[in-house]
Amino acid sequence: MTLLGSSTPQQKLGAQPVAELRDVTRVYTMGETEVRALDGISHAFQHGEYWSIMGSSGSGKSTLLNILGCIDRPTAGDYFVRGRGVADLDDDELSELRGRELGFVFQSYNLIPQLDVLENIMVPVLYLDDVPPEAEDRARSLAERVGLIDRLDHRPAQLSGGQQQRVAIARALINDPALILADEATGNLDTRTAEEILELFDELHEEGKTILLVTHEEEVGRRAEKTLRLRDGRVAEVGENR
Amino acid sequence: MRSSRLLRALRLGVGSLLLHKLRSTLTTLGVLFGVASVIAMLAVAEGASEQAQEQIRQLGSTNVILRSVKPPEDLVSNQETRVLAYGLTREDLERIRGTYPGLRAVVPVLDTPQEVRYLEHVCSPHVQCVPPEYLEVTGRVLHAGRFLAAADERAYAQVCVLSYEIARYLFPFEPALGKRVKIGADYFEVVGVTIGRVPIGQIHIDPGQEVAGDVFLPLATGRKIFGERQVRVRSGTMDITEVELHEIIVGVRETVDVPFIAAACRAMLASEHPRKDYEVVVPLELLIRERETKRIFSIVLGSIAGISLLVGGIGIMNVMLATVTERTREIGVRRALGAKRRHIVSQFLIETIVLSGAGGLAGVALGLAVPWWIEYKSGMRTIVTPQAPLLAFAISVGTGVIFGLYPAWRAASMDPVEALRHE
Ligand SMILES: Nc1ncnc2c1ncn2[C@@H]1O[C@H](COP(=O)(O)OP(=O)(O)OP(=O)(O)O)[C@@H](O)[C@H]1O
Ligand SMILES: [Mg+2]
């Protein structure tokens, strides 16, 4: 059942990776000391793939995800989203790209406290240059999809962690992004609630979404189709699960 | 679509501000009092100035007024009764008439301190013996009857004209015209009533209370009956003065000639009256001085207004900086979800505009209420010019924008990664 699918035939063919890293390096400079958080990473994420990015603490997972999410830029190397080089984009174009092509799911949900559920789901729509007229209907159907249709006028503070994370997932989907980026999305949840969220990801994957899930929990990481393992800012292992 | 977007942005701004009701209210108060005080102060100043100018105008802006003034007391002995002769003379009057033939009028005024009585009503108004031209030169207006005429002068007629306050006091329930009032020891027929200095609607006269007002007699009659000696009995001592003329009102034809005539009168009196028992009042000079005073007053008020709005603006900036820091994470999230820098700037600017605009509106309301209340309570005249509330409101919103720009810019220029990491 493809409720949210809208993939074009070319993408299905996989002619072009959704996200491609070419020799990406990210160096943090703090005074004298330099930290190479990412050191020459090359990798392509294809359309419809479900990846987990794993590695020990400090291995560079979050740094990589920030670059993949276009909120950070590589110190060296190139990053392409659907074939577009990110290095050439200015701040506004980068923002536009984030809004249209990328969906973020954070560890601590990061809903906006003064907005209700429906408004939170709609936030990425507000920043588009032309707001699609059917956006609100879409937000409602997404809320239904994540099981919160009867909570539309609730504030984040009135929701449980699992419910908040589901709102965040709906928000990530509102602009039908090419790539969903989740950093420790289940990190703050108990096992049962985490399981619900992971099932939601499974469903999205079946619907053809491209998902990158950062985690340090082996169990969670195995839920994904494939796993990219980092060590000291380098790709240590690329593997298929099951 | 655009307007609904703006509406939504406004609603969200208000929503964010309502998250901190006390803080937002306090910030708004800063602007509110700034704006209200500006409007109220301007209204009081404008009212006072208007009143002063009105009083000066009533003296006649093309007139030069010469007045007798009691010379310094050091020459006078401590006798029980004393006769003090000073002031302007008929000779002065004739000299002025002879020297400047082009004048509109030269009007002598002789005061005589007499009680005025009708039946049981007694009062001590300002009794002045004046020629018929007095009415025209001072620009006073008749309410009923006629003013003194040349024929009255020739016939030494015992007639008088009352100002409205006096007429109301002496004749509370009947028309004054045709009645005979007792001035000193003689009877005078009331032939006219002039409009008072105070607008008619604002006069309230309590029975039995002393009233201020004027009674006019023909100059010839007054001089014949009461002479040029003024006897005042004050706390047991008799105060006798001898003044030929208390005032000479010189009516000039053209305003441009006023300074010249004033200078000439001053020069003439200075040589004739070494005792300095006179003063020269030039309403035009007063008017110019009053305008200058008002201008300086406006500048001072403007600076105070500026300072109070500056304080309000600093308050806004302070609160917005705190808000921006507090919402760093929200800013990071919004940026990650596609917000451009200008979206963040406008989000925070809208909040400051809502803050300062609300303060401005409430300030305008309070600023309009305060002058009304002052006028209602104290009877002081206040004038709210239409520009004042508009200007105050515009400035308050302007300060909001100016002081909100920096916090908004700070919010927009945050690094999204850093902002997202913020706790
Ligand atoms: N803003 C920064 N300034 C300096 N160094 C940084 C910064 N962000 C990350 N680092 C460093 O880069 C390296 C990678 O950090 P990163 O946050 O990507 O690790 P991670 O894999 O997400 O770890 P964790 O599992 O603990 O979240 C670490 O050594 C970290 O100290
Ligand atoms: Mg991390």
DSSP string covering A6-70: ---HHHHHT-S-SEEEEEEEEEEEETTEEEEEEEEEEEEE-TT-EEEEE-STTSSHHHHHHHHTT
Among candidates B136, B152, B159, which has minimal Cα distance to B215?
A: B159
Ligand nearest to the CA of A53: 1
CA-nearest residue for atom 4, ligand 1, is: A28
* B208 plus B311 within the same structural domain: no
Instruction: Give residue A2's pLDDT.
Output: 39
Among candidates B143, B166, B157, which has minimal Cα distance to B218?
A: B157
The total domain count for chain B is: 2
pLDDT, average across residues B291-309: 82
Question: pLDDT band at B208, cuts 50/70/90?
Answer: low
Asked if residue B202 belongs to a domain, the reply is: yes
pLDDT at residue A242 is higher than 80: no
* B337 plus B413 within the same structural domain: yes
- The domain boundary, picked from B226, B259, B280, lies at B226
Average pLDDT, chain A: 90
- The domain boundary, picked from B207, B226, B245, lies at B226
A61 touches chain B (CB under 8 A): no
C-alpha pair distances (Å), A195 with each of A3, A202, A225: 21, 10, 16
- The domain boundary, picked from B172, B196, B226, lies at B226
How many whole angstroms separate alpha carbon A190 and alpha carbon A193?
5
Contact A124 B420 (CB under 8 A): no
Contact B417 A66 (CB under 8 A): yes
Residue A8: CB atoms within 10 A of its CB come to: 8
Question: pLDDT band at B46, cuts 50/70/90?
Answer: confident
Asked if residue B76 belongs to a domain, the reply is: no
Helical spans, DSSP H, in B60-182: 90-99, 134-138, 150-155, 164-170
pLDDT at residue A5 is higher than 50: no
- Residue B95 Rama label (left phi>0; alpha psi -120 to 50; beta): alpha
Instruction: Give residue B287's pLDDT.
Output: 85
Contact A168, A161 (CB under 8 A): no
Q: For B329-372, how does the pLDDT look when each residue is reduced to its tens digit (9 = 90+)?
A: 999 999 999 999 999 999 999 999 999 999 999 999 999 999 99
> From the CB of A226, is ligand 1 less than 6 Å away?
no
Residue B338: CB atoms within 10 A of its CB come to: 26
In the structure, ligand 2 is a single-atom ion and the residues with CB under 5 Å from it are A 62
R_g over Cα of chain A: 18
Ligand nearest to the CA of A183: 2
Asked if residue B80 belongs to a domain, the reply is: no
Question: pLDDT band at A97, cuts 50/70/90?
Answer: very high
Contact B334 A123 (CB under 8 A): yes
- Residue B343 Rama label (left phi>0; alpha psi -120 to 50; beta): alpha
CA A61 to centroid of ligand 2, rounded, Å: 6
Contact B382, B38 (CB under 8 A): no
pLDDT at residue B235 is higher than 90: no
pLDDT at residue A37 is higher than 60: yes
Tokens of B147: 């003013």
Domain ranges in chain A are 2-240
DSSP state of B262: H
> From the CB of A35, is ligand 1 less than 6 Å away?
yes
* B45 plus B118 within the same structural domain: no
Question: pLDDT band at B422, cuts 50/70/90?
Answer: confident
How many whole angstroms separate alpha carbon B196 and alpha carbon B307?
43
Question: pLDDT band at B388, cuts 50/70/90?
Answer: confident
Instruction: Give residue B209's pLDDT.
Output: 57
Instruction: Give residue B84's pLDDT.
Output: 81
Q: For B250-267, how does the pLDDT look when each residue is reduced to its tens digit (9 = 90+)?
A: 999 888 888 889 999 999
> From the CB of A63, is ligand 1 less than 6 Å away?
yes
| Residue of chain B whose alpha carbon sits nearest to that of A62 | B417
Asked if residue B94 belongs to a domain, the reply is: no
Among candidates A185, A202, A20, A21, which has minimal Cα distance to A103?
A: A185
User: Which residue range forms the structural domain that includes residue B317?
Assistant: 2-55+289-421
Contact B337 A171 (CB under 8 A): yes
How many whole angstroms separate alpha carbon B279 and alpha carbon B67?
5
Asked if residue B249 belongs to a domain, the reply is: no
Question: pLDDT band at A157, cuts 50/70/90?
Answer: very high
CA-nearest residue for atom 31, ligand 1, is: A58
Ligand nearest to the CA of A63: 1
Question: pLDDT band at A226, cuts 50/70/90?
Answer: very high
Q: Which of A25, A36, A54, A62 to mutate to test the pocket of ligand 1 (most atoms within 8 A of CB)?
A: A62
CA A59 to centroid of ligand 2, rounded, Å: 9
State in Å, rounded, how far the first CA of chain B is from the last one. 36
How many whole angstroms separate alpha carbon B141 and alpha carbon B68?
25
Question: pLDDT band at B298, cuts 50/70/90?
Answer: confident
Helical spans, DSSP H, in B60-100: 90-99
Instruction: Give residue B74's pLDDT.
Output: 53
Share of chain B above pLDDT 90, in %: 40
Q: Which residues in chain B touch residue A127, judged by CB atoms under 8 angstroms apart?
A: 334, 337-340, 343
CATH 3.40.50.300 is right for the domain spanning A2-240: yes
Question: pLDDT band at B414, cuts 50/70/90?
Answer: very high
Q: Which residues contact B118 (CB under 8 A, 6 or more apart)?
A: B170, B171, B179, B181, B182
Asked if residue B122 belongs to a domain, the reply is: yes
Contact A106 B8 (CB under 8 A): no
Maximal CA-CA distance, chain B: 105
Question: pLDDT band at A13, cuts 50/70/90?
Answer: very low
DSSP state of B201: G
DSSP reduced 3-state for B148: coil
Contact A155, B321 (CB under 8 A): no
* B49 plus B136 within the same structural domain: no
Instruction: Give residue A3's pLDDT.
Output: 41
